[in-house]
Structure 1
Amino acid sequence: MSSRKNTITLQIPEVKTLHKTPYPAISTLRPELSQAGRTILIAGGSTGIGFAIARAFVKAKAARIILLGRRKAVVEESAARLGVEARASESDTVVIPLVCDVADLEDTVKLWEDTFKNHLGGIVVDVLVLNAATGGEAKPILEGGLSTTWKAYELNVRTLLDFSQRFYKQDGENNQKKYLINVSTAAIHNFETDANAIPAYGLTKNAGTLLMQQIAKDTSPDDMQITSFHPGGIMTEQVRSLRIPEDLYDWDNEDLPGHFAVWLASPEARFAHGRMLAAHWDVDELKGGEVEKRIESQWNYLKIGVIGLES
């Protein structure tokens, strides 16, 4: 692990090894992580981290990947690129680009009630990746105003609830276990990072991750395994739009959260149901070690709460 000028890592004492690039334990070529036969739906999958996650599922031999994006040209170009990569890796993955504003309830009704059922032959989604998000404005909340902050809630919280409910209640013959993966952020915990300049982001991503935590509390991981994770420090299109200098951080490789997401969509991550992890944490140190023991013994470990309180 290299030293960082400014860290975007989340650290816990139980995990000593931090990664910046994919490594064997989360390799998409491991048979244990195969996604063969599965349909993967990625909200916010046409660029950045979402695209890297889609690419990882292609390598893991998913049957089909549905990419959602607001910009038709971008999502179609991304699907075409993934198709090329699928052929290059001898994967039979079919990539389906769909234009959808996931923060628009009318769009999501059309997606789940019409497109999936009628136009795509009653498709049943096996893995849902919630990656779409908005940062909000780089202003204090009271200066940004109600409408700006509420728009962040609509995408970063309401969309998660909308998609989670529809995913869980799908009709169809596929009664297999489902996997729900929420791409969260270190900003839900550390409000003193650079994300503090866009406070509505940390606020609403925190609320969205707490929502996933609450849903997981009442949902068996045998039915729907739910995890949230910090993807690491990735230089994406959205980060560039915030004008953060590229030399400010020692950025992580974008394939790291992609491969980590594939690992989360496997039974190996069952112990982390309802918890918040980080893509750079070594999974061999997570599973079967002190982390798993603390999850079993401490209901609030790696969950959202107030630091310093005891119960």
Structure 2
Amino acid sequence: MAPSAEYEFPSFTNTVHRSAYDAISPTNPSNSASGKVILITGGGIGVGLNIAKAYVQAGAKTVAILGRRENVLADAKKDLESAGSSQILTFKADIVDEAALEKAFSSTAQQAGAPIDVVVANAGYLSEPGPAATADLGDYFKTFEINIKGTLLTFRAFLNHRTTTHTPVFISLNTGAAHNVFPNISAYSASKLGQGQLIAHLAVENPDVRVVSMHPGVLASEMNTKSGMTISRDDMSLPSGFAVWLASGRASWTSGKFLWAHWDVDELEELRGEIEAKGLLGLGLLGWPRVEKPKVVV
């Protein structure tokens, strides 16, 4: 059974949030994106558009948004231009189209006159909900193609055009469903679990890049509506502000981690020592290891 509208997930921090607060506010000087070039996939609507708007409010030099629908991108451009003084760029691109991604990234760097500082990999796909045993396999595996391959292609394009004067940041939007089991969305959950593990590998293999997974919360979006799940909703300002915080200096230690936008960032910073010492907030197998030094029998 899916959670009810009153359902609350357990938390890593004592305090949880459902909307933005000062520590993650785009107008907080510690979260300034001044001079930065930002690129967001799936940036024309919903979560992606609101994250783009937050970076505009944080003073970004350039915000580029990618999407598949030109009319949606045109409307989003007008919306973002009214939110601040950032240069707004739009590109029609599917994240599983390597050539289109490369063109969008190279054009962003060229038009901005600077390499890209932050990428928010927001674009994703949810197949038609239903039991795995009877699901349409084409639609089912399209989820893996977009959520895993698309994320990898986005990261590879970023590597070609990332800044080298300071630490570039790659934020991958994930979901709490990656480490929970809900009926009828197995393709989405499994693909997002794979995406999260991919992000962990990219973080280890590219130590010069801050690579982090982020659960944005439960939001009123096209994907959430399609899922049919009725969980209590969060305000769009929550993931928007959290994404801006993740790109700030205060979040320099988060690479390789899987973080929820709900979690209080002041508490997270206080818990940093424990998180790093114990290797917390990564994907793994519950209960393992139970024995650190087992007796080996040959």
Normalised by the size of structure 2, how large is the TM-score? 0.90
| 1:179 matched residue in structure 2 | 169
| 2:125 matched residue in structure 1 | 134
CA distance in 2 between partners of 1:269 and 1:112 (Å): 24
Alignment of 1:112-123 (within 5 A): 112=105, 115-116=107-108, 120=111, 123=114
> In the TM superposition, what is the alpha-carbon distance from 1:177 to its structure 2 partner?
1.7
RMSD of aligned residue pairs (Cα, Å): 2.0
| 1:107 matched residue in structure 2 | 100
> In the TM superposition, what is the alpha-carbon distance from 1:237 to its structure 2 partner?
2.3
> In the TM superposition, what is the alpha-carbon distance from 1:109 to its structure 2 partner?
3.6
Structure 1: runs of 5+ lacking an equivalent: 87-91
Alignment of 1:271-282 (within 5 A): 271-282=253-264
| 2:221 matched residue in structure 1 | 236
Alignment of 1:177-256 (within 5 A): 177-192=167-182, 196-220=183-207, 223-244=208-229, 248-256=230-238
One of 15, 18, 31 as aligned partner of 1:17: 15
The change in CA–CA distance for 1:20 and 1:206 in structure 2 (over 3 A counts) is same
| 1:89 matched residue in structure 2 | none
| 2:41 matched residue in structure 1 | 43
Is 1:159 the counterpart of 2:150 in the alignment? yes
Q: Deviations over 1:253-280 (max 9, x none)?
A: 1111000000000121122210011111
CA contact (8 A) 2:102 2:157 kept: no
Normalised by the size of structure 1, how large is the TM-score? 0.86
CA distance in 1 between partners of 2:275 and 2:59 (Å): 31
CA contact (8 A) 1:28 1:259 kept: yes
Structure 2: runs of 5+ lacking an equivalent: 293-298
CA contact (8 A) 2:64 2:108 kept: no
CA distance in 1 between partners of 2:98 and 2:157 (Å): 12
CA distance in 2 between partners of 1:58 and 1:272 (Å): 23
- Matched AA of 2:268: L
CA contact (8 A) 2:62 2:112 kept: no
Is 1:308 the counterpart of 2:287 in the alignment? yes
Identity among equivalent pairs (%): 31
